């Protein structure tokens, strides 16, 4: 029950982090918000680690540093960076629906690495996940394609013509979806790595702090300069910094709760619960971002179907 409770807390942490990030991106791009939120996540996790498990750093095997380097690459340079880029292009609700399929990748890796054999329910759950994605995204893609075609040969071909705008919108949607899928793959991979590290080597707080440190180092060359520039420009109106910080603290809650849950329970149990965070994102988006997020009933239905599929995957993996 403790692992389930921690997974639910992680769900709320990740779900609210996406909303805070979306608000922070109103006036700046995704990369500065990503870097700033990552810095606040590192500070929060590092403070907790120093207070509660500081002696663990002294006896840390060097192999853990190598694994944490890989974890930081997949989880933060890959997962968080790609997910925030996707949020900036297709919105928190739609990006969250795709990133939520990370449990599918986590289950596949867990089965492959532990030698388990998938139950037929796992295959059924995968089909349901795909159906949920088609439901939530297919209508948007179809409408975008129709609008692009409808612009027709009457368009002038200029960058501001209706045809060009629709083509750019369609490319942005497709690119955002690919970014979100990449984030899902990265997050799914980290679950298996974290499971091995927290059970065999050290505390989840140590793992999260070191991996976040490596994440900050790797994201800095990509987004650090933009973040500093935006901070200088926003001295009179630092609102985006506030929401970026909230996003980082919420994400740190999600990361640490997930790591502690993985220490106590199997990947196939924790991953699907945490991956249901798009539902929490949808609720918050409907309440606070109704003007920015196109939260349609098709998107809500598709997210629900996808999460149901993820639950089936987890159930089948335990049979």
The CB density around residue 139, as the number of other CB atoms within 10 Å, is 14
Residue 19's contacts (CB-CB under 8 Å, 6 or more residues apart) are 92, 281, 284, 285, 288, 289
d(CA 287, CA 282): 9
Q: Is residue 118 within a helix (H) or strand (E), and if so which, with residue range?
A: none
- pLDDT by residue (tens digit) across 162-187? 667 777 777 878 888 889 889 988 88
- Per-residue pLDDT at 147: 45
In the three-class reduction of DSSP (H, G, I as helix; E, B as strand; rest coil), residue 152 is classed as: coil
The size of the chain, in residues, is: 319
Distance of CA 12 to the CA centre of its chain: 12
Residue 149's contacts (CB-CB under 8 Å, 6 or more residues apart) are none
- Per-residue pLDDT at 155: 47
Spell out where 89-236 has E strands: none
The CB density around residue 42, as the number of other CB atoms within 10 Å, is 24
| Host domain of residue 262 | 2-317
d(CA 115, CA 113): 6
Residues with pLDDT less than 50, the chain: 144-156
Residue 28's contacts (CB-CB under 8 Å, 6 or more residues apart) are 230, 234, 240
- Per-residue pLDDT at 159: 57
Closest CA to 176 of 282, 99, 283: 99
Helix axes 239-264, 204-219, angle to 10 degrees: 140
- Per-residue pLDDT at 150: 47
d(CA 90, CA 97): 11
- Asked if 262 and 110 touch (Cβ cutoff 8 Å), the reply is no
Residue 162's contacts (CB-CB under 8 Å, 6 or more residues apart) are 151, 155
* CA atoms within a 13 Å half-sphere pointing along the CA-CB vector of 77: 19
User: Which value, to the nearest 10 degrees, does the dihedral of the CA atoms of residues 88, 93, 95, 101 take?
Assistant: 160
- pLDDT by residue (tens digit) across 6-16? 988 998 998 89
- Per-residue pLDDT at 274: 84
- Asked if 303 and 137 touch (Cβ cutoff 8 Å), the reply is no
What is the count of structural domains for the chain?
1
- Per-residue pLDDT at 152: 45
Closest CA to 36 of 240, 245, 246, 226: 245
- Asked if 203 and 53 touch (Cβ cutoff 8 Å), the reply is yes
d(CA 31, CA 38): 11
- Per-residue pLDDT at 5: 84
């Amino acid at each position: 029950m403790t692992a389930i409770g921690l997974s639910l807390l992680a769900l709320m942490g990740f779900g609210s982090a996406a909303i805070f990030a979306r608000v922070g991106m109103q006036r700046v791009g995704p990369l500065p918000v990503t870097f700033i939120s990552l810095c606040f996540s590192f500070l929060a996790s590092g403070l907790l680690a120093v207070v509660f498990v500081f002696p663990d750093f002294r006896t840390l095997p060097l192999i853990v540093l190598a694994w944490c380097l890989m974890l930081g690459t997949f989880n933060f340079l890959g997962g968080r960076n790609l997910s925030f880029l996707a949020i900036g292009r297709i919105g928190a609700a739609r990006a969250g629906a795709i990133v939520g399929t990370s449990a599918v990748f986590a289950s596949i890796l867990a089965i492959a690495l532990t030698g388990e054999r998938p139950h037929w329910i796992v295959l059924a759950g995968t089909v349901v996940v795909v159906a949920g994605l088609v439901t939530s995204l297919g209508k948007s893609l179809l409408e975008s394609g129709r609008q692009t075609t409808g612009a027709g040969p009457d368009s002038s071909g200029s960058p501001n013509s209706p045809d060009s705008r629709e083509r750019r919108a369609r490319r942005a949607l497709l690119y955002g979806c690919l970014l979100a899928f990449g984030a899902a793959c990265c997050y799914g991979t980290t679950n298996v790595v974290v499971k091995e590290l927290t059970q065999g080597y050290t505390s989840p707080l140590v793992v999260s702090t070191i991996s976040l440190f490596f994440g900050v180092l790797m994201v800095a060359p990509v987004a650090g300069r933009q973040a500093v520039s935006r901070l200088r420009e926003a001295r009179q109106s630092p609102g985006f910094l506030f929401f970026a910080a909230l996003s980082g603290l919420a994400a740190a809650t999600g990361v640490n709760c997930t790591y502690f849950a993985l220490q106590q329970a199997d990947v196939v149990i924790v991953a699907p619960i945490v991956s249901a965070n798009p539902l929490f994102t949808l609720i918050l988006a409907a309440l606070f971002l109704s003007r920015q997020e196109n939260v349609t009933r098709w998107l809500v239905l598709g997210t629900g179907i996808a999460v149901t599929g993820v639950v089936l995957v987890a159930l089948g993996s335990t049979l």
